[in-house]
Amino acid sequence: MLIVKKFGGTSVGNVERIMNVARRCIEDYRKGHDVVVVLSAMGKTTDDLIAMAREVNENPSKREMDMLLTTGEQISVSMMAMAMGALGVPAVSLNAFQVAMHTTHKYGNARLKRIDTDRIMNELDQRKIVIVTGFQGVDKYDNITTLGRGGSDTTAVALAAALRADACEIYTDVDGVYTADPRYVKNARKLEEITYDEMLELATLGAGVLHNRSVELAKKYGVQIVVRSSLNENEGTIVREVTNMEKMLVSGVAVDKNASRIALIGLKDEPGIAFHLFHALSKYNINVDMILQSVGRAGTKDISFTVTEDVADEAVAILQKSFPKSNYEKIDVEKKVVKLSVVGAGMMTNPGVAANMFEALYDCGVNIKMISTSEIRVTVLIDESSMEKAMNAVHEKFALAD
């Protein structure tokens, strides 16, 4: 069996943890399996390097940033190979160019194009554990690229696909995927299985234990992922196309606190006004999420939309610059809001989910500010102050703890 195992920065955060991960990987090796390990940078290494870069240049070149940050994973993988060596198991570390991991040349956010498997297979044939740097690649001119934050998950899934691995295990600091965040919902339950689409919705909502692109990639190539904890031996959550479980209507409740609502009140009701508005924002790479247009007073309209909280002020500034003050009454920004979602593949064939969710919220007195839906998700925007109450009410309503 060929197993790809990915460990995040926390799991290799110090020398002791590196030894623990080494021991864990060696168990599978000693059973006769081929083991490929994908690692992120140790603990806060990436953040420290970013901070150091900002000291010399507030707006550093993305190419040089990738050159700098990729040293983090190279340190992890060589340390891990040494740790395994100390435990008597032959191991070899490989960085992106040694593998090679070919990517597009978009620094900071490159896409994997192709992975050469010769070197890895060759090392596995010599009964070595192969340890690969996550997160990084090389473009066609040998420049070093990175896959964006969380890209190590993508590396692991892509490697599993390229190597036709029998298993792809993503180790994290939680046991798996839960029906809700256990910090807020006491009786949240770990899911045994979840579909790619459900996982994608959860990842997009910020409840993600997995990097979004890694799930897309796993879906595309049919790579079955197991999400489990590096801190204990508990069974994790399996992510795959069709789950064996009785189809639950709803798999989980997710919240995304990184949301702000911007409202333009009293906009002139002219054709093209919405286009101009969202065009101005997209020019500055500001992603808009939920959108609501309603009829305002006296021949005007109101447009509200959500953006991530960190760009809310920028979005307002752009709007003030793009629209003469005479075109609208005022701009409102609300930052203390959260997106609350229920996600479930079973929803597709069952129309009652939204209504049930709204009922649960109504019963506990939570006001809904905006609504959006997809085939397998219903999302509402609510006040941050009622988040915990709302989560528990919805979790209860769909009997997720049972």
Interaction site with a copy of itself (CB under 8 A): 15, 18-19, 49, 52-53, 55-58, 60-61, 63-65, 67-68, 70-71, 74-75, 77-79, 81-83, 85-86, 92-93, 95, 97-98, 119, 142-144
Inter-residue contact 373 to 354 (CB < 8 Å)? yes
Question: Between 64 and 384, whose beta carbon lies closer to a copy of itself?
Answer: 64
- CA 61 remoteness from chain centre: 25
Give the nearest distance from C-beta 35 to a copy of itself in angstroms: 17
Type of residue found at 396? E
Give the nearest distance from C-beta 306 to a copy of itself in angstroms: 34
Question: Between 16 and 402, whose beta carbon lies closer to a copy of itself?
Answer: 16
Give the nearest distance from C-beta 304 to a copy of itself in angstroms: 40
* Closest by CA position to 115, among listed 153, 148, 78, 157: 157
Q: DSSP of 249-310, one letter per residue?
A: S--EEEEEEEEEEEEEEEEE--TTHHHHHHHHHHHTT-----EEEEE-STTEEEEEEEE-GG
Question: Between 70 and 172, whose beta carbon lies closer to a copy of itself?
Answer: 70
Give the nearest distance from C-beta 49 to a copy of itself in angstroms: 7
Question: Between 21 and 347, whose beta carbon lies closer to a copy of itself?
Answer: 21
Give the nearest distance from C-beta 2 to a copy of itself in angstroms: 22
Residue 391 CA: distances (Å) to CA of 24, 142, 366, 376: 36, 48, 11, 18
Q: How many CA atoms lie within 13 A of 104 on its CB side?
A: 8
Name the strands in the sheet holding 2-7, side by side, starting at the edge strand that comes first in the sequence: 91-94, 129-133, 34-39, 2-7, 167-172, 225-229, 237-240, 193-195
Give the nearest distance from C-beta 40 to a copy of itself in angstroms: 15
